[in-house]
Amino acid sequence: MKPPKAVKNLTDVFEKLPGIGPRTAARLVYYLVNAPASLSQELAKAAANLRSQIKLCSVCKNIDSTNPCEICQDASRNKSQLCVVEEAQDLAAVEASGAYYGLYHVLHGRIAPTQGLGPGDIYLAELLSRVKSGKFSEVILATNADTEGEATALYCAKLLKSARLKITRLAQGIPQGGDIEYADEITLRRALEGRVNY
Amino acid sequence: MKPPKAVKNLTDVFEKLPGIGPRTAARLVYYLVNAPASLSQELAKAAANLRSQIKLCSVCKNIDSTNPCEICQDASRNKSQLCVVEEAQDLAAVEASGAYYGLYHVLHGRIAPTQGLGPGDIYLAELLSRVKSGKFSEVILATNADTEGEATALYCAKLLKSARLKITRLAQGIPQGGDIEYADEITLRRALEGRVNY
Protein backbone atom coordinates (compact mmCIF):
# COMPACT_ATOMS: atom_id res chain seq x y z
CA MET A 1 0.00 0.00 0.00
CA LYS A 2 1.26 3.46 -0.92
CA PRO A 3 0.49 6.47 1.33
CA PRO A 4 -2.78 8.28 0.43
CA LYS A 5 -2.36 10.80 -2.38
CA ALA A 6 -3.13 13.79 -0.13
CA VAL A 7 -0.39 12.65 2.26
CA LYS A 8 2.08 12.09 -0.57
CA ASN A 9 1.37 15.51 -2.13
CA LEU A 10 2.17 17.38 1.08
CA THR A 11 5.16 15.14 1.84
CA ASP A 12 6.56 15.95 -1.62
CA VAL A 13 6.26 19.71 -1.00
CA PHE A 14 7.88 19.49 2.46
CA GLU A 15 10.77 17.49 0.95
CA LYS A 16 11.55 20.42 -1.35
CA LEU A 17 12.30 22.62 1.68
CA PRO A 18 15.89 22.87 2.96
CA GLY A 19 16.93 20.41 5.67
CA ILE A 20 13.77 18.30 5.33
CA GLY A 21 14.31 14.73 4.15
CA PRO A 22 11.70 12.04 3.41
CA ARG A 23 11.39 10.93 7.06
CA THR A 24 11.04 14.42 8.52
CA ALA A 25 8.52 15.29 5.78
CA ALA A 26 6.43 12.22 6.62
CA ARG A 27 6.60 13.01 10.34
CA LEU A 28 5.35 16.58 9.70
CA VAL A 29 2.49 15.39 7.48
CA TYR A 30 1.31 12.70 9.91
CA TYR A 31 1.49 15.27 12.69
CA LEU A 32 -0.90 17.44 10.66
CA VAL A 33 -3.10 14.40 9.98
CA ASN A 34 -3.47 13.75 13.71
CA ALA A 35 -3.65 17.42 14.79
CA PRO A 36 -6.90 19.44 14.72
CA ALA A 37 -7.85 20.20 11.10
CA SER A 38 -7.51 23.91 11.85
CA LEU A 39 -3.70 23.59 11.89
CA SER A 40 -3.41 22.42 8.27
CA GLN A 41 -5.92 25.12 7.31
CA GLU A 42 -3.76 27.74 9.05
CA LEU A 43 -0.74 26.41 7.17
CA ALA A 44 -2.63 26.55 3.86
CA LYS A 45 -3.73 30.12 4.46
CA ALA A 46 -0.34 31.41 5.63
CA ALA A 47 1.43 29.76 2.67
CA ALA A 48 -1.14 31.10 0.19
CA ASN A 49 -0.77 34.65 1.54
CA LEU A 50 3.02 34.63 1.91
CA ARG A 51 3.98 35.75 -1.57
CA SER A 52 0.99 37.98 -2.28
CA GLN A 53 1.43 39.98 0.93
CA ILE A 54 5.15 40.67 0.75
CA LYS A 55 6.86 43.25 -1.42
CA LEU A 56 10.40 43.87 -2.55
CA CYS A 57 11.53 47.32 -1.39
CA SER A 58 12.51 49.26 -4.51
CA VAL A 59 15.12 51.21 -2.53
CA CYS A 60 17.02 48.65 -0.45
CA LYS A 61 15.60 45.34 -1.83
CA ASN A 62 14.44 44.32 1.65
CA ILE A 63 11.33 42.15 1.89
CA ASP A 64 8.44 43.79 3.73
CA SER A 65 4.68 44.39 3.72
CA THR A 66 5.19 47.81 2.15
CA ASN A 67 7.30 49.37 -0.61
CA PRO A 68 9.44 51.28 0.29
CA CYS A 69 10.01 49.12 3.34
CA GLU A 70 9.45 50.19 6.94
CA ILE A 71 13.15 50.88 7.46
CA CYS A 72 13.55 53.05 4.34
CA GLN A 73 10.43 55.02 5.38
CA ASP A 74 11.60 55.48 8.98
CA ALA A 75 12.70 59.11 9.32
CA SER A 76 14.49 58.41 12.61
CA ARG A 77 17.08 56.00 11.12
CA ASN A 78 20.67 57.12 10.62
CA LYS A 79 20.70 57.76 6.88
CA SER A 80 24.46 58.12 6.62
CA GLN A 81 25.20 54.43 7.30
CA LEU A 82 24.52 51.60 4.88
CA CYS A 83 24.77 47.95 5.93
CA VAL A 84 25.15 45.50 3.00
CA VAL A 85 23.77 41.99 3.62
CA GLU A 86 23.33 38.92 1.43
CA GLU A 87 19.71 38.06 2.26
CA ALA A 88 16.63 39.59 3.93
CA GLN A 89 17.00 37.14 6.83
CA ASP A 90 20.51 38.56 7.46
CA LEU A 91 18.94 42.01 7.73
CA ALA A 92 16.48 40.59 10.29
CA ALA A 93 19.41 39.16 12.28
CA VAL A 94 21.29 42.49 12.31
CA GLU A 95 18.07 44.25 13.37
CA ALA A 96 17.58 41.73 16.18
CA SER A 97 21.05 42.58 17.54
CA GLY A 98 19.80 46.07 18.31
CA ALA A 99 23.29 47.44 17.61
CA TYR A 100 22.63 49.11 14.26
CA TYR A 101 20.25 51.89 13.38
CA GLY A 102 21.22 52.86 9.83
CA LEU A 103 19.91 51.79 6.42
CA TYR A 104 20.41 48.51 4.56
CA HIS A 105 21.07 47.09 1.13
CA VAL A 106 20.05 43.48 0.46
CA LEU A 107 22.07 41.87 -2.35
CA HIS A 108 19.80 38.81 -2.65
CA GLY A 109 22.71 36.47 -3.08
CA ARG A 110 26.46 36.35 -3.20
CA ILE A 111 29.21 36.01 -5.74
CA ALA A 112 29.83 32.26 -6.07
CA PRO A 113 31.57 31.40 -9.35
CA THR A 114 31.40 27.66 -8.59
CA GLN A 115 27.59 27.95 -8.58
CA GLY A 116 27.63 30.17 -11.67
CA LEU A 117 26.71 33.28 -9.68
CA GLY A 118 28.53 36.42 -10.82
CA PRO A 119 28.25 40.12 -9.88
CA GLY A 120 25.39 40.54 -12.39
CA ASP A 121 23.19 38.10 -10.50
CA ILE A 122 22.86 40.20 -7.33
CA TYR A 123 21.80 43.80 -6.64
CA LEU A 124 25.29 45.30 -6.99
CA ALA A 125 24.52 47.91 -9.68
CA GLU A 126 21.73 49.20 -7.40
CA LEU A 127 24.19 49.33 -4.48
CA LEU A 128 26.69 51.33 -6.53
CA SER A 129 24.08 53.83 -7.69
CA ARG A 130 22.82 54.31 -4.10
CA VAL A 131 26.35 54.87 -2.81
CA LYS A 132 27.21 57.20 -5.70
CA SER A 133 24.30 59.43 -4.62
CA GLY A 134 26.75 60.60 -1.96
CA LYS A 135 24.35 60.38 0.99
CA PHE A 136 26.36 57.81 2.92
CA SER A 137 29.47 58.29 5.00
CA GLU A 138 30.00 54.59 5.79
CA VAL A 139 29.22 51.24 4.18
CA ILE A 140 29.33 48.21 6.50
CA LEU A 141 29.89 44.95 4.62
CA ALA A 142 27.91 42.36 6.58
CA THR A 143 28.16 39.43 4.17
CA ASN A 144 28.80 35.97 5.65
CA ALA A 145 32.26 35.10 6.98
CA ASP A 146 32.66 32.19 4.54
CA THR A 147 34.53 32.03 1.20
CA GLU A 148 31.69 33.38 -0.94
CA GLY A 149 30.77 36.03 1.62
CA GLU A 150 34.40 37.21 1.77
CA ALA A 151 34.62 37.28 -2.03
CA THR A 152 31.40 39.29 -2.21
CA ALA A 153 32.65 41.75 0.43
CA LEU A 154 35.95 42.15 -1.44
CA TYR A 155 34.09 42.77 -4.72
CA CYS A 156 31.82 45.36 -3.04
CA ALA A 157 34.83 47.12 -1.50
CA LYS A 158 36.53 47.44 -4.92
CA LEU A 159 33.31 48.52 -6.60
CA LEU A 160 32.71 51.29 -4.04
CA LYS A 161 36.32 52.44 -3.78
CA SER A 162 35.86 55.41 -6.12
CA ALA A 163 33.05 56.78 -3.91
CA ARG A 164 35.69 57.61 -1.29
CA LEU A 165 33.69 56.76 1.83
CA LYS A 166 34.48 54.66 4.87
CA ILE A 167 34.09 50.95 4.11
CA THR A 168 34.03 48.56 7.08
CA ARG A 169 33.55 44.85 7.56
CA LEU A 170 32.00 43.02 10.55
CA ALA A 171 34.62 41.96 13.11
CA GLN A 172 35.60 38.31 13.22
CA GLY A 173 36.54 36.56 16.44
CA ILE A 174 35.43 34.24 19.20
CA PRO A 175 31.61 34.10 19.36
CA GLN A 176 29.85 34.94 22.65
CA GLY A 177 30.14 31.97 25.03
CA GLY A 178 32.83 30.50 22.80
CA ASP A 179 35.53 28.19 24.07
CA ILE A 180 39.12 29.09 23.11
CA GLU A 181 40.05 25.41 23.29
CA TYR A 182 37.52 24.49 20.62
CA ALA A 183 37.85 27.60 18.41
CA ASP A 184 39.10 26.74 14.93
CA GLU A 185 42.51 28.07 13.85
CA ILE A 186 41.22 30.70 11.44
CA THR A 187 38.77 32.14 13.98
CA LEU A 188 41.50 32.30 16.59
CA ARG A 189 43.91 33.99 14.15
CA ARG A 190 41.22 36.58 13.24
CA ALA A 191 40.50 37.16 16.95
CA LEU A 192 44.20 37.80 17.62
CA GLU A 193 44.61 40.05 14.58
CA GLY A 194 41.54 42.04 15.61
CA ARG A 195 42.31 42.21 19.33
CA VAL A 196 41.05 45.32 21.08
CA ASN A 197 42.43 47.42 23.96
CA TYR A 198 41.03 46.23 27.27
CA MET B 1 11.89 46.39 12.36
CA LYS B 2 9.74 43.29 12.87
CA PRO B 3 9.46 40.69 10.09
CA PRO B 4 6.57 41.32 7.65
CA LYS B 5 3.22 39.99 8.90
CA ALA B 6 2.97 37.39 6.11
CA VAL B 7 6.40 36.05 7.08
CA LYS B 8 5.49 35.99 10.77
CA ASN B 9 2.19 34.20 10.14
CA LEU B 10 3.84 31.33 8.28
CA THR B 11 6.76 31.19 10.75
CA ASP B 12 4.25 30.83 13.59
CA VAL B 13 2.52 27.88 11.89
CA PHE B 14 5.83 26.12 11.11
CA GLU B 15 6.87 26.53 14.76
CA LYS B 16 3.82 24.51 15.83
CA LEU B 17 5.14 21.46 13.94
CA PRO B 18 7.29 18.93 15.79
CA GLY B 19 11.06 19.45 15.69
CA ILE B 20 10.80 22.93 14.16
CA GLY B 21 12.10 25.78 16.34
CA PRO B 22 12.06 29.53 15.62
CA ARG B 23 15.28 29.46 13.56
CA THR B 24 14.31 26.50 11.40
CA ALA B 25 10.86 28.03 10.88
CA ALA B 26 12.40 31.32 9.75
CA ARG B 27 14.80 29.49 7.41
CA LEU B 28 11.91 27.59 5.79
CA VAL B 29 9.84 30.75 5.33
CA TYR B 30 12.70 32.75 3.81
CA TYR B 31 13.43 29.81 1.53
CA LEU B 32 9.83 30.04 0.29
CA VAL B 33 10.19 33.82 -0.02
CA ASN B 34 13.20 33.39 -2.31
CA ALA B 35 11.91 30.32 -4.20
CA PRO B 36 9.54 30.56 -7.19
CA ALA B 37 6.07 31.60 -5.98
CA SER B 38 4.69 28.30 -7.28
CA LEU B 39 6.31 26.44 -4.37
CA SER B 40 4.37 28.28 -1.65
CA GLN B 41 1.22 27.86 -3.76
CA GLU B 42 1.87 24.10 -3.96
CA LEU B 43 2.32 24.04 -0.19
CA ALA B 44 -0.91 25.97 0.32
CA LYS B 45 -2.85 23.61 -1.93
CA ALA B 46 -1.44 20.40 -0.48
CA ALA B 47 -2.07 21.61 3.09
CA ALA B 48 -5.63 22.71 2.24
CA ASN B 49 -6.44 19.34 0.64
CA LEU B 50 -4.75 17.14 3.25
CA ARG B 51 -7.60 16.73 5.68
CA SER B 52 -10.46 16.88 3.19
CA GLN B 53 -9.00 14.13 0.99
CA ILE B 54 -8.14 11.55 3.65
CA LYS B 55 -10.54 9.21 5.37
CA LEU B 56 -10.39 7.06 8.48
CA CYS B 57 -10.99 3.42 7.55
CA SER B 58 -14.03 2.25 9.53
CA VAL B 59 -12.62 -1.29 9.67
CA CYS B 60 -8.96 -0.93 10.66
CA LYS B 61 -8.72 2.83 11.47
CA ASN B 62 -5.98 3.27 8.85
CA ILE B 63 -5.77 6.64 7.08
CA ASP B 64 -6.36 6.42 3.33
CA SER B 65 -8.10 8.05 0.36
CA THR B 66 -10.94 5.53 0.59
CA ASN B 67 -13.10 3.93 3.31
CA PRO B 68 -12.63 0.99 3.76
CA CYS B 69 -8.95 1.50 3.06
CA GLU B 70 -7.02 -0.05 0.19
CA ILE B 71 -5.63 -2.81 2.42
CA CYS B 72 -9.01 -3.81 3.88
CA GLN B 73 -10.42 -3.92 0.33
CA ASP B 74 -7.54 -5.98 -1.06
CA ALA B 75 -8.84 -9.53 -1.59
CA SER B 76 -5.32 -10.91 -1.98
CA ARG B 77 -4.16 -10.05 1.57
CA ASN B 78 -3.81 -12.76 4.20
CA LYS B 79 -6.97 -12.20 6.24
CA SER B 80 -5.94 -14.51 9.08
CA GLN B 81 -3.15 -12.23 10.35
CA LEU B 82 -3.71 -8.94 12.17
CA CYS B 83 -0.87 -6.51 12.87
CA VAL B 84 -1.59 -3.97 15.64
CA VAL B 85 0.25 -0.64 15.34
CA GLU B 86 0.10 2.63 17.26
CA GLU B 87 -0.15 5.08 14.34
CA ALA B 88 -0.87 5.11 10.60
CA GLN B 89 2.77 5.98 9.92
CA ASP B 90 3.79 2.75 11.71
CA LEU B 91 1.54 0.84 9.31
CA ALA B 92 3.31 2.58 6.42
CA ALA B 93 6.68 1.50 7.86
CA VAL B 94 5.60 -2.15 8.20
CA GLU B 95 4.25 -2.06 4.64
CA ALA B 96 7.55 -0.62 3.39
CA SER B 97 9.41 -3.58 4.92
CA GLY B 98 7.64 -5.85 2.43
CA ALA B 99 7.68 -8.64 5.03
CA TYR B 100 4.00 -8.64 6.00
CA TYR B 101 0.94 -9.23 3.89
CA GLY B 102 -1.90 -9.52 6.41
CA LEU B 103 -4.37 -6.97 7.77
CA TYR B 104 -3.82 -4.15 10.27
CA HIS B 105 -5.40 -2.43 13.22
CA VAL B 106 -4.33 1.15 13.98
CA LEU B 107 -4.81 2.09 17.65
CA HIS B 108 -4.23 5.84 17.07
CA GLY B 109 -2.22 6.19 20.23
CA ARG B 110 -0.88 4.22 23.12
CA ILE B 111 -1.56 3.70 26.78
CA ALA B 112 0.43 6.40 28.58
CA PRO B 113 -0.90 7.06 32.09
CA THR B 114 1.63 9.86 32.67
CA GLN B 115 0.04 11.72 29.73
CA GLY B 116 -3.45 10.84 30.89
CA LEU B 117 -4.00 8.35 28.06
CA GLY B 118 -5.86 5.22 29.13
CA PRO B 119 -7.27 2.21 27.24
CA GLY B 120 -10.44 4.16 26.44
CA ASP B 121 -8.53 6.77 24.44
CA ILE B 122 -7.38 4.40 21.68
CA TYR B 123 -9.20 1.97 19.37
CA LEU B 124 -8.97 -1.04 21.71
CA ALA B 125 -12.68 -1.89 21.91
CA GLU B 126 -12.71 -2.01 18.10
CA LEU B 127 -9.66 -4.30 18.16
CA LEU B 128 -11.34 -6.66 20.62
CA SER B 129 -14.54 -6.84 18.56
CA ARG B 130 -12.58 -7.56 15.36
CA VAL B 131 -10.57 -10.30 17.05
CA LYS B 132 -13.71 -11.79 18.65
CA SER B 133 -15.18 -12.24 15.17
CA GLY B 134 -12.89 -15.27 15.07
CA LYS B 135 -11.44 -14.61 11.59
CA PHE B 136 -7.85 -14.25 12.75
CA SER B 137 -5.38 -16.94 13.70
CA GLU B 138 -2.58 -14.56 14.77
CA VAL B 139 -2.28 -11.07 16.19
CA ILE B 140 1.14 -9.42 15.84
CA LEU B 141 1.69 -6.65 18.39
CA ALA B 142 3.82 -4.06 16.56
CA THR B 143 3.69 -1.22 19.06
CA ASN B 144 6.91 0.70 19.76
CA ALA B 145 9.68 -0.91 21.80
CA ASP B 146 9.55 1.84 24.47
CA THR B 147 7.83 1.89 27.86
CA GLU B 148 4.42 3.02 26.60
CA GLY B 149 4.58 0.71 23.59
CA GLU B 150 5.41 -2.27 25.83
CA ALA B 151 2.60 -1.34 28.23
CA THR B 152 0.17 -1.09 25.31
CA ALA B 153 1.29 -4.46 23.92
CA LEU B 154 0.90 -6.06 27.33
CA TYR B 155 -2.59 -4.59 27.70
CA CYS B 156 -3.58 -5.86 24.22
CA ALA B 157 -2.26 -9.34 25.00
CA LYS B 158 -4.35 -9.54 28.20
CA LEU B 159 -7.41 -8.12 26.44
CA LEU B 160 -7.20 -10.68 23.63
CA LYS B 161 -6.27 -13.65 25.79
CA SER B 162 -9.81 -15.03 25.91
CA ALA B 163 -9.93 -15.18 22.10
CA ARG B 164 -7.42 -18.04 22.25
CA LEU B 165 -5.37 -17.19 19.19
CA LYS B 166 -1.63 -16.86 18.61
CA ILE B 167 -0.35 -13.51 19.93
CA THR B 168 3.15 -12.45 18.89
CA ARG B 169 5.35 -9.42 19.40
CA LEU B 170 8.01 -7.98 17.05
CA ALA B 171 11.49 -9.32 17.82
CA GLN B 172 13.91 -7.02 19.62
CA GLY B 173 17.66 -7.07 18.96
CA ILE B 174 20.57 -5.45 17.22
CA PRO B 175 19.34 -3.29 14.32
CA GLN B 176 20.70 -3.93 10.80
CA GLY B 177 24.20 -2.40 10.53
CA GLY B 178 24.33 -2.10 14.32
CA ASP B 179 27.55 -2.14 16.29
CA ILE B 180 27.70 -4.54 19.27
CA GLU B 181 30.14 -2.17 20.98
CA TYR B 182 27.66 0.69 20.94
CA ALA B 183 24.46 -1.30 21.55
CA ASP B 184 22.76 -0.34 24.82
CA GLU B 185 22.52 -2.96 27.57
CA ILE B 186 18.81 -3.64 27.23
CA THR B 187 19.02 -4.13 23.46
CA LEU B 188 21.94 -6.52 23.91
CA ARG B 189 20.10 -8.45 26.61
CA ARG B 190 17.02 -8.75 24.33
CA ALA B 191 19.24 -9.87 21.44
CA LEU B 192 20.80 -12.58 23.60
CA GLU B 193 17.45 -13.72 24.99
CA GLY B 194 16.01 -13.89 21.49
CA ARG B 195 19.05 -15.49 19.83
CA VAL B 196 18.22 -17.76 16.89
CA ASN B 197 19.82 -20.97 15.60
CA TYR B 198 22.41 -20.22 12.96
Total domains, chain A: 2
Contacts A44 to B, Cβ<8 Å:
43-45, 47-48
Residue of B19, B24, B63 with shortest CB distance to A33: B63
Nearest-Cα residue of chain B relative to residue A63: B4
In a domain, A198, yes or no: no
In a domain, A149, yes or no: yes
In a domain, B189, yes or no: no
Q: What percent of chain B has pLDDT over 70?
A: 100
In a domain, A196, yes or no: no
pLDDT in tens, B41-76: 999 999 999 999 999 999 999 999 999 999 999 999
Looking at the fold, whether A48 and A103 belong to one and the same domain comes out as: no
Domain that holds residue A9: 5-53
Looking at the fold, whether A90 and A9 belong to one and the same domain comes out as: no
Looking at the fold, whether B49 and B63 belong to one and the same domain comes out as: no
In a domain, A34, yes or no: yes
pLDDT grade, residue A197 (50/70/90)? confident
pLDDT in tens, A146-171: 999 999 999 999 999 999 999 999 99
Looking at the fold, whether B24 and B66 belong to one and the same domain comes out as: no
Nearest-Cα residue of chain A relative to residue B74: A1
In a domain, B104, yes or no: yes
Q: State the amino acid at position B153 in one-letter form.
A: A
| pTM of the model as a whole | 0.81
For chain B, which ranges sit under pLDDT 70?
Answer: none
Residue of B7, B27, B74 with shortest CB distance to A18: B27
ipTM score: 0.82
Contacts B3 to A, Cβ<8 Å:
92
Looking at the fold, whether B19 and B92 belong to one and the same domain comes out as: no
Looking at the fold, whether A86 and A145 belong to one and the same domain comes out as: yes
Looking at the fold, whether B119 and B93 belong to one and the same domain comes out as: yes
CATH number of the domain enclosing A18: 1.10.8.420
Looking at the fold, whether B73 and B145 belong to one and the same domain comes out as: yes
pLDDT in tens, A5-52: 999 999 999 999 999 999 999 999 999 999 999 999 999 999 999 999
* The pLDDT of residue B140: 96
The pLDDT of residue A66 is above 80 = yes
The pLDDT of residue A1 is above 80 = no
Cβ contact, residue pair B13, A42, below 8 Å: yes
* The pLDDT of residue A196: 86
Nearest CA to CA, how far is B91 from chain A (Å)?
9
CATH number of the domain enclosing B162: 3.40.1360.10
Tell me how far apart the alpha carbons of residues A34 and A54 are, in angstroms, rounded to a whole number.
31
